[in-house]
Chain A
Amino acid sequence: QKEVEQNSGPLSVPEGAIASLNCTYSDRGSQSFFWYRQYSGKSPELIMFIYSNGDKEDGRFTAQLNKASQYVSLLIRDSQPSDSATYLCAVNRGMTTDSWGKLQFGAGTQVVVTP
Protein backbone atom coordinates (compact mmCIF):
# COMPACT_ATOMS: atom_id res chain seq x y z
CA GLN A 1 0.00 0.00 0.00
CA LYS A 2 1.33 3.41 -0.98
CA GLU A 3 1.69 5.92 1.83
CA VAL A 4 -0.25 8.58 -0.05
CA GLU A 5 -2.75 7.64 -2.73
CA GLN A 6 -4.49 9.78 -5.30
CA ASN A 7 -6.51 9.02 -8.40
CA SER A 8 -4.22 9.70 -11.34
CA GLY A 9 -6.99 11.06 -13.56
CA PRO A 10 -7.24 12.82 -15.83
CA LEU A 11 -10.17 14.54 -14.16
CA SER A 12 -12.06 16.44 -16.82
CA VAL A 13 -14.03 19.42 -15.49
CA PRO A 14 -16.14 21.91 -17.47
CA GLU A 15 -15.16 25.54 -17.04
CA GLY A 16 -17.05 27.06 -14.12
CA ALA A 17 -17.72 23.72 -12.43
CA ILE A 18 -16.31 22.32 -9.18
CA ALA A 19 -13.30 20.02 -9.33
CA SER A 20 -13.09 17.53 -6.46
CA LEU A 21 -9.78 15.83 -5.72
CA ASN A 22 -9.25 13.12 -3.13
CA CYS A 23 -6.24 11.84 -1.23
CA THR A 24 -5.86 9.06 1.35
CA TYR A 25 -2.86 8.40 3.52
CA SER A 26 -1.73 5.41 5.53
CA ASP A 27 0.35 6.93 8.36
CA ARG A 28 -1.95 7.80 11.28
CA GLY A 29 0.86 9.90 12.75
CA SER A 30 0.62 12.40 9.90
CA GLN A 31 0.21 15.90 11.28
CA SER A 32 0.08 18.32 8.36
CA PHE A 33 -1.29 18.12 4.89
CA PHE A 34 -0.53 20.09 1.75
CA TRP A 35 -1.86 20.50 -1.75
CA TYR A 36 0.60 21.50 -4.45
CA ARG A 37 -0.18 22.45 -8.03
CA GLN A 38 2.32 21.47 -10.70
CA TYR A 39 2.10 22.68 -14.26
CA SER A 40 3.72 20.49 -16.89
CA GLY A 41 7.49 20.88 -16.78
CA LYS A 42 7.37 23.19 -13.76
CA SER A 43 8.03 22.79 -10.06
CA PRO A 44 5.29 22.25 -7.43
CA GLU A 45 3.59 25.36 -6.07
CA LEU A 46 1.90 25.32 -2.65
CA ILE A 47 -1.77 26.25 -2.86
CA MET A 48 -3.25 24.99 0.41
CA PHE A 49 -2.22 23.52 3.76
CA ILE A 50 -4.37 22.16 6.57
CA TYR A 51 -3.64 20.80 10.03
CA SER A 52 -7.00 20.47 11.76
CA ASN A 53 -10.05 18.38 10.97
CA GLY A 54 -12.68 20.23 9.00
CA ASP A 55 -12.69 22.64 6.12
CA LYS A 56 -10.30 25.42 5.22
CA GLU A 57 -11.16 27.89 2.50
CA ASP A 58 -8.81 30.14 0.54
CA GLY A 59 -10.36 31.92 -2.42
CA ARG A 60 -11.69 29.34 -4.86
CA PHE A 61 -9.95 26.50 -3.02
CA THR A 62 -11.28 24.48 -0.08
CA ALA A 63 -9.28 21.79 1.66
CA GLN A 64 -11.08 19.21 3.80
CA LEU A 65 -9.39 16.98 6.36
CA ASN A 66 -10.73 13.94 8.18
CA LYS A 67 -7.97 12.37 10.26
CA ALA A 68 -10.18 9.54 11.52
CA SER A 69 -10.77 8.42 7.96
CA GLN A 70 -7.23 9.39 6.90
CA TYR A 71 -8.63 11.42 4.09
CA VAL A 72 -7.91 14.86 2.70
CA SER A 73 -9.59 16.51 -0.25
CA LEU A 74 -9.37 19.64 -2.35
CA LEU A 75 -12.26 21.42 -4.00
CA ILE A 76 -11.70 23.96 -6.75
CA ARG A 77 -14.75 26.14 -7.34
CA ASP A 78 -15.47 28.00 -10.58
CA SER A 79 -12.75 26.03 -12.36
CA GLN A 80 -10.78 27.94 -14.98
CA PRO A 81 -8.63 26.65 -17.87
CA SER A 82 -5.62 28.01 -15.95
CA ASP A 83 -6.40 25.44 -13.22
CA SER A 84 -5.42 22.66 -15.65
CA ALA A 85 -2.44 21.05 -13.94
CA THR A 86 -1.42 18.10 -11.80
CA TYR A 87 -2.39 18.44 -8.14
CA LEU A 88 -0.12 16.75 -5.64
CA CYS A 89 -1.22 15.78 -2.16
CA ALA A 90 1.57 15.72 0.44
CA VAL A 91 1.57 14.69 4.10
CA ASN A 92 4.09 15.29 6.86
CA ARG A 93 4.41 13.35 10.09
CA GLY A 94 6.61 15.30 12.43
CA MET A 95 6.22 18.66 14.10
CA THR A 96 9.73 19.15 15.52
CA THR A 97 12.38 21.10 13.66
CA ASP A 98 14.21 17.92 12.69
CA SER A 99 11.23 15.78 11.78
CA TRP A 100 9.06 18.37 10.10
CA GLY A 101 9.54 18.53 6.42
CA LYS A 102 9.81 14.98 5.15
CA LEU A 103 6.89 15.30 2.81
CA GLN A 104 5.35 12.15 1.42
CA PHE A 105 3.74 12.92 -1.92
CA GLY A 106 1.07 11.14 -3.85
CA ALA A 107 1.56 10.61 -7.57
CA GLY A 108 -0.81 13.46 -8.35
CA THR A 109 -4.17 13.92 -10.05
CA GLN A 110 -4.19 15.53 -13.48
CA VAL A 111 -7.01 18.06 -13.86
CA VAL A 112 -8.15 19.25 -17.27
CA VAL A 113 -10.59 22.17 -17.36
CA THR A 114 -12.42 22.33 -20.65
CA PRO A 115 -13.81 25.65 -21.98
Chain B
Amino acid sequence: DAGVTQSPTHLIKTRGQQVTLRCSPKSGHDTVSWYQQALGQGPQFIFQYYEEEERQRGNFPDRFSGHQFPNYSSELNVNALLLGDSALYLCASRLAQDRVHGYTFGSGTRLTVV
Protein backbone atom coordinates (compact mmCIF):
# COMPACT_ATOMS: atom_id res chain seq x y z
CA ASP B 1 0.00 0.00 0.00
CA ALA B 2 1.78 3.12 -1.23
CA GLY B 3 1.80 6.07 1.10
CA VAL B 4 1.76 9.68 0.00
CA THR B 5 4.18 10.23 -2.87
CA GLN B 6 5.60 13.58 -3.87
CA SER B 7 7.69 14.65 -6.81
CA PRO B 8 10.26 15.87 -7.35
CA THR B 9 12.23 15.27 -4.15
CA HIS B 10 14.55 18.21 -4.70
CA LEU B 11 14.32 21.26 -6.90
CA ILE B 12 16.45 24.34 -7.50
CA LYS B 13 14.83 27.37 -9.11
CA THR B 14 15.81 30.96 -9.79
CA ARG B 15 13.99 33.98 -8.37
CA GLY B 16 11.04 34.96 -10.50
CA GLN B 17 10.53 31.51 -11.96
CA GLN B 18 7.47 29.33 -11.52
CA VAL B 19 7.37 25.84 -10.01
CA THR B 20 4.89 22.97 -9.90
CA LEU B 21 5.02 20.32 -7.21
CA ARG B 22 3.04 17.10 -7.41
CA CYS B 23 1.40 14.82 -4.88
CA SER B 24 -0.35 11.46 -5.04
CA PRO B 25 -2.35 10.73 -1.90
CA LYS B 26 -2.31 7.50 0.01
CA SER B 27 -4.56 4.86 -1.50
CA GLY B 28 -8.12 5.39 -0.27
CA HIS B 29 -7.58 9.02 0.73
CA ASP B 30 -9.55 11.82 -0.91
CA THR B 31 -8.39 14.99 0.84
CA VAL B 32 -5.05 16.65 0.27
CA SER B 33 -3.40 19.47 2.16
CA TRP B 34 -0.17 21.29 1.43
CA TYR B 35 2.24 22.66 4.01
CA GLN B 36 5.39 24.75 3.84
CA GLN B 37 8.10 24.00 6.39
CA ALA B 38 10.97 26.45 6.68
CA LEU B 39 14.17 25.29 8.36
CA GLY B 40 13.73 24.99 12.11
CA GLN B 41 10.01 25.76 11.98
CA GLY B 42 6.84 23.73 12.12
CA PRO B 43 4.84 23.17 8.94
CA GLN B 44 2.61 26.06 7.89
CA PHE B 45 -0.75 25.29 6.29
CA ILE B 46 -1.06 26.49 2.68
CA PHE B 47 -4.39 25.05 1.53
CA GLN B 48 -6.61 21.98 1.49
CA TYR B 49 -8.37 20.34 -1.44
CA TYR B 50 -11.42 18.10 -1.31
CA GLU B 51 -13.68 17.13 -4.19
CA GLU B 52 -11.43 19.10 -6.53
CA GLU B 53 -12.12 22.36 -4.71
CA GLU B 54 -9.98 24.49 -2.43
CA ARG B 55 -11.75 24.20 0.94
CA GLN B 56 -9.44 26.06 3.27
CA ARG B 57 -6.52 28.39 2.80
CA GLY B 58 -3.79 29.56 5.08
CA ASN B 59 -2.09 32.94 5.12
CA PHE B 60 -0.27 32.61 1.81
CA PRO B 61 -0.33 35.04 -1.14
CA ASP B 62 -2.09 34.35 -4.40
CA ARG B 63 1.26 33.34 -5.90
CA PHE B 64 0.50 29.99 -4.31
CA SER B 65 -2.19 28.09 -6.14
CA GLY B 66 -3.24 24.51 -6.42
CA HIS B 67 -5.37 21.95 -8.10
CA GLN B 68 -6.88 18.58 -7.32
CA PHE B 69 -7.60 16.09 -10.07
CA PRO B 70 -10.43 13.52 -10.27
CA ASN B 71 -8.02 10.79 -9.12
CA TYR B 72 -7.41 12.88 -5.95
CA SER B 73 -3.82 13.75 -6.87
CA SER B 74 -2.85 17.36 -6.44
CA GLU B 75 -0.45 20.03 -7.64
CA LEU B 76 0.97 23.05 -5.89
CA ASN B 77 2.03 25.93 -8.11
CA VAL B 78 4.13 28.85 -6.98
CA ASN B 79 4.64 31.84 -9.29
CA ALA B 80 7.24 34.60 -9.16
CA LEU B 81 9.46 32.70 -6.76
CA LEU B 82 11.14 34.58 -3.93
CA LEU B 83 14.19 33.57 -1.93
CA GLY B 84 11.88 33.20 1.05
CA ASP B 85 9.95 30.45 -0.71
CA SER B 86 12.88 28.11 -0.11
CA ALA B 87 11.49 25.39 2.15
CA LEU B 88 10.34 21.81 2.43
CA TYR B 89 6.89 21.48 0.88
CA LEU B 90 4.83 18.72 2.40
CA CYS B 91 1.74 17.11 1.01
CA ALA B 92 -0.57 15.32 3.43
CA SER B 93 -3.62 13.22 2.70
CA ARG B 94 -6.53 11.69 4.60
CA LEU B 95 -10.01 10.29 4.08
CA ALA B 96 -12.56 13.06 4.60
CA GLN B 97 -14.88 10.97 6.79
CA ASP B 98 -12.07 9.75 9.00
CA ARG B 99 -12.29 11.74 12.23
CA VAL B 100 -9.94 9.43 14.06
CA HIS B 101 -6.66 9.39 12.23
CA GLY B 102 -4.62 12.37 11.31
CA TYR B 103 -3.03 13.21 8.05
CA THR B 104 -0.38 11.02 6.46
CA PHE B 105 2.51 13.11 5.20
CA GLY B 106 4.62 12.55 2.13
CA SER B 107 8.38 12.80 2.24
CA GLY B 108 8.27 16.31 0.82
CA THR B 109 9.85 18.35 -1.92
CA ARG B 110 12.86 20.42 -0.94
CA LEU B 111 12.68 23.67 -2.94
CA THR B 112 15.69 25.95 -3.09
CA VAL B 113 15.31 29.37 -4.71
CA VAL B 114 18.55 31.06 -5.71
Contacts and interface: CB of A to CB of B under 8 A. Distances in A.
A104 interface: yes
Given A44-B90, A102-B48, A88 B42 contact: yes
A4 B43 CA distance: 12
Given A43-B90, A88-B42, A49 B101 contact: yes
A34 interface: yes
Interface residues of A, number: 24
Interface of A: 4, 34, 36, 42-46, 49, 88, 90, 95, 97-108
Interface residues of B, number: 28
A22 to B, nearest CB: 15
A43 B108 contact: yes
Task: Report, nearest first, the 5 A-B pairs whose CB atoms are least far apart.
Answer: A105-B42, A43-B105, A46-B102, A98-B55, A97-B96
B31 interface: yes
